[in-house]
Structure 1
């Protein structure tokens, strides 16, 4: 791809694996910042090293260690996930292209997500849990290049990420915001409260919410 074609939120292939672009720094040598969708591992690359993929009906992929299938023919359910493919946010809403959102309420043809975003039905597709037998596997651009070892690691990924999320936050740990791609370091922990490097204060239970944050670095030198 050319840099001018790259947009925040796009699904792209990098080194054969499905990623999502979360920011672009045109002044950097590796200007495209993205995370691997299956486990949220962050990487940077040049625009010419990635290939665009537009998610569509019956595509299946891994998100945070779990398989999901895109369904345009299903209706959303409370506690289920949706993928925003045609964002048209209201002024006070905070979501963009290919945002993963968890449904908290359903109000007619609009859902309200866990981040309190009202999203109209025409803006999203439903993420059906599991890999539908008739779905296209888009986790990899070319399945023939995937080793047996990688497939075995993928099979264990859900349990591995679940254990990681159970780790209590400690000073020096780094968490990834799943909605804006930003990383924040824990700089203080007091009681049930956590302070992040950019000044934000959160409850521990909010930081451990797998729908919003994921742990990407564990500081083993400082444990509370």
Structure 2
């Protein structure tokens, strides 16, 4: 892919495995920040090394070590996971393409997620636990590859935060995902592996890169903003 074609949230194949684009930082040589879905490990690469995949109904994949099958004809219930494939957020919501969120409450019009996002039923696909009989596995682009079996059994790999290109950058805007209130902050300074955020917060870079707790939104210097 070309760099201008890569967008946050896209499903892509990298090294034959399914990933999701977590962020794009054009100023770096390895400008594409990925999350591998099967174990949520983080990886950096270039746009030329990834190939986009658009998820569809009956696709199945492993998310955080558990298998799920995507369904369109079934509304979510409390505690389910959803994949937001058709995002239409209102002015108060911040979710985007291919967000994976847990359902907290359900009504006739839609659901409220654990991140307090209001999502209409036509915006998501339900992630049904397990592999359906007619499902289409998408964990690997080439399921016949010699390395697939080894990759399935490989332990999770973590990002080496000592490499400067992996550290959050000045002007990065993050949203705290595990908060009951909307909290968005900016990176004000980075010293070694310590990140200083607006509001007087001081946390480690590793914690800020945890996709379960923090979501990268954009950088003030990005051309797309």
Aligned position for 1:73: 73
Structure 1 unaligned spans of 5+:
158-176, 185-195, 215-224
The number of residue pairs the alignment matches comes to: 175
The C-alpha deviation readout for 1:140-187, integer Å capped at 9, x for no partner, is 110111343333448xx8xxxxxxxxxxxxxxxxxxx996xxxx9xxx
Aligned position for 2:101: 101
1:87–1:96 CA contact under 8 A, matched in 2 = yes
SS at match of 1:144: coil
The C-alpha deviation readout for 1:171-224, integer Å capped at 9, x for no partner, is xxxxxx996xxxx9xxxxxxxxxxx8535599xxxx9xx99349xxxxxxxxxx
1:2–1:48 CA contact under 8 A, matched in 2 = yes
Q: Distance in 1 between matches of 2:63 and 2:176?
A: 11
Aligned position for 2:136: 136
Give, in angstroms, the shift of residue 35 of structure 1: 0.9
Q: What is the TM-score with the length of structure 2 in the denominator?
A: 0.69
Aligned position for 2:117: 117
Aligned position for 1:149: 150
Q: Distance in 1 between matches of 2:24 and 2:72?
A: 29
Q: Distance in 2 between matches of 1:139 and 1:200?
A: 37
The C-alpha deviation readout for 1:54-93, integer Å capped at 9, x for no partner, is 0000000010000010101111111001100111111111
Q: Distance in 2 between matches of 1:106 and 1:116?
A: 12
Q: After TM superposition, where is structure 1 displaced by more than 6 Å over at least 4 residues in a row?
A: none
Give, in angstroms, the shift of residue 46 of structure 1: 1.0
SS at match of 2:60: strand
Q: Distance in 1 between matches of 2:88 and 2:212?
A: 21
Q: Distance in 2 between matches of 1:60 and 1:125?
A: 12
Aligned position for 1:30: 30
1:178–1:211 CA contact under 8 A, matched in 2 = no
Alignment of 1:202-213 (within 5 A): 212-213=212-213
Aligned position for 2:169: none
Aligned position for 1:14: 14
The answer on 1:49 being equivalent to 2:77 is no
Coordinate RMSD, CA, aligned = 3.0
Structure 2 unaligned spans of 5+:
157-174, 178-186, 188-194, 215-225
Q: What is the TM-score with the length of structure 1 in the denominator?
A: 0.70
1:40–1:64 CA contact under 8 A, matched in 2 = yes
Q: Distance in 2 between matches of 1:136 and 1:25?
A: 32
Q: Distance in 2 between matches of 1:85 and 1:147?
A: 27
